[in-house]
Amino acid sequence: MTISPVPGDVIDGLAALPVANIGDSMDRLGVVDAGIQAVWPGATLAGPAFTVEVAGGDNAGIHEAIAQVPAGAILVVNGHGVTDRALIGELIAERLRRVGCAGFVVDGAVRDVDDLEEMGFAVFARAKSPAGPYKNGPFRIGVPIALGGVVVSPGDVIVGDSDGLAVVPAVQAEAVLERARRKNADETETRRRILAS
């Protein structure tokens, strides 16, 4: 499956901008529920989404997806907001990192947060829990999913920083980048004027 029609320089450009500017440039739509945040301070990510939907508290689909995630992609999991079972920990993260995955986002819980920070592996999730997952299924891979109130299609660009996450539809990525750059430049100039007054 081809993961993203978005050129690498566009993804790099989005990665260099604050998520707040990106969200503003999409009329404040496409911004993920604020309950999903970086699980360690300073984590950032940007890349095309590789999507998985799993049953709440069950990570069978994540295990299945590991071999399919393209290098540079973000594994994005709709775990239906279930927070009493961690879907991913450091062992899966190590396997994902080995195949070149750039990070993951889970609408659900993760664990082994200290290890994830030590690895420098970018992780955004709704919660942390020490409890492990079930492995029974069902699941769906490579389909449009919900993530914190936003639809994510395979190949959409996921951008995350300390403020949270934005989902940039692949077909709009270049236009969003240009608007976000203008927004960032305007805010930089406004701040310069404030400091000079």
Residues 139-171, buried b or exposed e (16+ Cβ, 10 A)? bebbeebebbebebebbbbbbbbeebbbbbbbe
pLDDT of residue 197: 86
106-122 residue pLDDT tens: 999 999 999 999 999 99
List the chain domain ranges.
Answer: 8-196
Nearest to 38 by CA among 127, 170, 158, 152: 127
- What's the Cα-to-Cα distance from 148 to each of 35, 39, 79, 116, 177, rounded to whole Å? 8, 16, 10, 22, 22
The amino acid occupying position 68 is Q
This prediction's pTM:
0.94
Percent of the chain at pLDDT > 90 equals: 97
Q: Which CATH superfamily is domain 8-196 in?
A: Ribonuclease E inhibitor RraA/RraA-like (3.50.30.40)
Confidence of residue 5 (pLDDT cuts 50, 70, 90): confident
**Mean pLDDT of the region 173-188:** 97
Handedness of CA 141, 147, 54, 160 (dihedral sign): positive
* Token duo for residue 175: 């236009």
**pLDDT of residue 2 exceeding 80:** no
How many other CB atoms are found less than 10 A from the CB of residue 113? Answer: 16
127-166 residue pLDDT tens: 999 999 999 999 999 999 999 999 999 999 999 999 999 9
57-96 residue pLDDT tens: 999 999 999 999 999 999 999 999 999 999 999 999 999 9
